[in-house]
Chain A
Amino acid sequence: MLSSGFIVLVAGLYLGGLFLLAFLTDQRARRGAARFVGSPVVYTLSLAVYCTSWTFFGAVGSAARNGLEYLTIYLGPTIVLMGWWLLLRKLVRISKAQRITSIADFISARYGKSASISALVTIMALIGITPYIALQLKAVAAGFDALGTPFDVPVLSPERGLFADTGFWVAVCMAAFVVMFGTRNLGADERHPGIVAAIAFESIVKLLSLGAIAVFCVWGLSDGVQDMFAKAVANPRVEPLFGFAEGFEGRWITTLFLAGAAIVCLPRQFQVAVVENADERHLATASWLFPLYLLLISVFVIPIAISGLTVLPDTANPDLFVLTVPLSEGQETLALIAFIGGLSAATSMVIVASIALSIMISNHLVTPLLLRIPSFSGPRAGDFSATLLTIRRCSIVAILTLGFVYYRVTASSNPLASIGLISFAGAAQFLPALVGGIFWQRATHKGALSGLFAGFLVWGYTLLVPSFADAGWAFNDMVAQGPWGIALLKPDALFGFAGWDPLVHGVFWSMTINLTVYLVVSLLTEQSPLESLQSALFVNAFQRGERQVEGVLTGSARTEDLFRLTQRILGPERAFRIFRDYAREHGDGDELPEPDPTLIAHVERQLASSVGAASARTLVSRIVKGETISLDAVIEILDETQQAIRTSRELETKSRELAKTAEELRQANDKLTRLDRMKDDFLSRVSHELRTPMTSIRSFSEILADRPDLDVAESSRFLSIIHHESERLTRLLDEILDLSSMESGQAAWAMVPVDAARVVREALDTMRGLATAHGVTLESILPDGGAPVLADADRLKQVIVNLVSNAIKYNDAAAPAVWVELREDAASGWVTIAVRDNGRGIPPEARDALFAKFSRGWNDLSRARGGSGLGLAISRQIMQQLGGTLEFDAEAEETTFVVQLRRHAGDIAAQ
C-alpha cells in the first residue's frame, strides 16, 4: 500500500514537470524556436485530449459493464477525422480567415456576429461541460483513494466533510494549476504553444501508461493473447465483452453519433482541433494518426477489462480496474504509473476545457456586459487586456467550482461513462447550427438561436434533470410522475415514449427538436445584411479571396481612435506592431495608415482574435461613424458563386455561337473570294475576247485609211473582214448582255405551252448544214406524239442548237456522230432531251467548271473554232429560267448533256 504523502509527492512532481515543459515551450515559442509544437504529430497528440479520465478509467468500466459499446466513443471521432476534407478543413479555413477564438465565437460570427448566440452557446457549454469536469475530479479523487487503500475495500466514499473530500483538493490543485498555466498572458491570438506541448506530452503518457497495464494483463496475468481469451470465454462474467446484448442498436447508433459530434462540438476539442491549428495541412496527418491513437487505446482496454472481470471480485468498481488490477497483484509501481496516466488524462482535459470555457466566458458573457458600462467602453478608458486576464482567471475558478459542486451533489453513484455521455449530448446541440452554418447559406440568426435554445431545453429536461433525480438531489417527483402529475411529459418518457434507454430517448428528442426548430425558423425568417455577408463568407470559404470582403463595410473613423482602441484591448506593444505592419504592407511607410474601410476591417479582425467577433464588432462600431453595409457589395458576394456559374455558362454559349459565326464567315469569305476570282477571270476573258476582233478591225481600218491606192477587190475583202469581226463583237456583247439580264432575272419571256419534239426538230434542221460541213452524222430519236412543255420556244431552241453545235464542232472522232434523243417519262412527269456525241469527251477535272463563263480551256479546239465560251453558261441560265435543268451526265459512256423540263398538262398552243 502506497502512502498518501508519497502519491501526492509523485503527482506534484509530475505536474511540476508539466508546468516546466509548458513554460519552456512558451519561452522558446516567443523566440520563434519552438518548431516542434508546429508539427503535425504534436497537433495530433493535442487532439488526444479527447481521451480523458473517462477513457482512461471509464472505458474499461464501460467495457466491463456494457461490452463493446465503449468502442463507439472512439469510432465516432475516427469517422469524423476520416472525413476531414469535408468538415474539419472547412472549419479550420474559416476560423483562420475570421480569427475565431472559440466554438461560441464561430457560431456567433456565422450568424451575423451575434452577441446573443455567443452568450447562449457559452452558457450551454458551461452547463454541458460541468458534469464532464466533475467526472475528472471524481476519477482522480477515486483513483487517489483507491491507490491509498487496500484494493478490496469499497472505495466509494460515504459522506465526508468538504476538506476530507479528496475531490476538493483535486479541484483546488487543478484550479491553481490552470490559472498559472493558461492565463499568464494574452497571446497574439488564442494559441497556447506551451499548453499544446503539455497536453501532447500528456497524451503520450496516457497511451504508454494504459499500454503498460494492458501488456501486464496479457503477458503478466495470462500467458499471451490466446490464453487470455481462453480464460475469458470460460468466465460467464466476461461474456458481455464478446457479443452484443439484445437491443444494443439504439445505444450503439446514439453513442456513435454523440462521439462523432463531440470531436468538433466540445469546446475543448474545437479549441485544439480548430483554434490551435497552426497549419491546415496538419489535418492530413491527424486524419489517420489520431484514429490510430484511438485504435490503440481501444485495444488496450480489452485485456484490462477481461483481467478485472476474471481476477477481481464482483464488488470491485469496474471504473477503477486500471488501478485495482495491478494493485491486486501487488504491482504498486505499475499502479502508480496507471495513476499518473489517469492524472494526465484528467489534467489535460481540465486544462483545455477550462481555458476554452474561460475564453468563452470572458469574451461572450463578461466583455459584452462590461462594454455596457460607460467607464469601460468609452474611447478614453484604461487598458482592457489586464481586465480580460483577470476575468479569465476568475472564470477558471468558477468553472472548477461548478464542477466540484456537481461532483458533490450527484455523489459518485453514476458510472463515469454515463456522466460523460450527458455532456456529449449537451455539446451535440451545437451541431445543427455549426454544420448547417457552413453548408447552408439560408440559415438565419433567429433559426440558430431558437434551435440551440430548444435543443438545450430539451437536453436539460430529458437528460440533466433525470441525472439529478437519480442522485436523489432534486426533481424526484417530476421524474417519477411528470411535471404537475402529467405523465405524458415525464422527462424520461417524453410524449409517452417509455421503455427507451434514457440516453437514446434524450438524444432523440433534443436533436430532432433542435434540428426542426433550426430549419423551420430559418426558413421563416430573413437574414440581416451582416448575416448575409457572413453566411456567404462561411459557406463559400474555399472560393474567395479575403480582399473582396473589405470594402463591404463602409464608414469613417479617425486612425487615432482606432489605434487607441487597439491599444486598450491588446496592449500598447501589440497595437503598435499591428499598425506598423499594416502601414508597411500598404506602402504608407512610417506614417499612420489612412482610416479607410480596409483598415477598419483589419482592426476589427485583430480585436476579434482577442475578444471574439461579436464584442469586436460592438467596439469598432462605437468609433466608426456612418457605418453602413453596402447592400450591393453583399449581394455581389452572395451571388458570386451563382454568378460564376451563370457567367461560365453564358461564355460557353457565346463561344459556341462565335465558333459557328466564324465558320459561316469563313465559308462566306471563301465563296466571296471564289466569286471575286471568277469576276476577275470573267473580266479578263471578256476583254481578251473583245480584243481579238477589235484588233483586227483596227488594223484593217488603218490599212484602208493609210493606203487609198488599194485596189477595190482588196479593200472590199478587208471591209468584209471588218464587217465580220464587228458582227462577232456585237454577238459577243449581245450574249454577255443576255446572260447578265438573265442572271439578274430581268428577262421577260413568253412562257407558253410548246411541243418540245417540234422545237428539237427545228433545231436539228438548222444544224444540218453545219453537220454536213463538218462531216458529222446527226441522228435523232423523237417520239411520234408531241411532248408538251411550258417554255419559250426560241430560247429552248437556242439551248438545243448550242448543245448540238458544240457536239458537232468539237467532235474529233474518226467517224463523228451526234445523237439527239427525246424521252417522256410519264411516271415522273419529266421531258428529257439528251444530246450525245462520240467525241473525245470532257476530262473529269474540267467538268466542275463546265458551265462557268468562258470555260472552254480544256479544249484547244474551241478557240480555233470561234466559240465565245459563253454558250453553256447561257444555256444553263436559260434552262433555269424555264424551270428546267441542264446537266452533264457524268455516268454516261459518251459525252452526254441532258436537258429536262416538266411535262405540261394542258394543250399546246398553235404555232
Chain B
Amino acid sequence: MKSHVWRPLYIVVGVVALVLLARTILVPEDFGIGERGYMYGWHRKGNEADWKAVKVKYKTMDFCKECHQDKYNDLRHSPHAAIQCENCHGPALGHPDDPPTLTIDRHRDLCIRCHARLPYNGSGRGAIRGINPETHHPEAECVLCHYPHNPKLEAKR
C-alpha cells in the first residue's frame, strides 16, 4: 500500500496510544465497578472513605452530660427533655478544648420555632402551647422569664 494510506493511520494509532497513556495516569487505581454492579457501582472506591472521614460536629446529649450533669438533670425531667443541647447551643465542635467554637444563642427565634402558635390539626404542632410572637413581649428574650432547661419551673428566674 502507498504511504498516503499509512501516514494518517500512524496518527490515529498515535492518538489512541496517547489517550490510553493519559487514562492510566489520570484515572485513579481504585476506580472500577463496586459491589452494586456496573450501573450503580461505577466509582472510585476511595471516595467512600473520604465521606466517612467527614468531621462529626453534633456530638449529642450523651457527650454534653459528661460535664454538665446539673443542666442535663434539669432538662431530663422537663417537657423539653427530648431537645438536644446542641439544638440551641450549637454543635459541640471543638468544645471544650476550644471554647469560642461553642456559641450560645439566647434569641427568641429559637423558642418560636415550636412555640409560635400554629393550630394545625394534621401535625403535633397544634398541641404545643404557643404564643403570637408579634404580640407576646416582642422586645424581650424568652429566657428573661422562662427557664429553658425546665420551663415548668417558671419561678426560677
Q: Are A and B co-members of a single complex?
A: no
The chain B residues found within 8 Å of chain A, CB to CB, are none
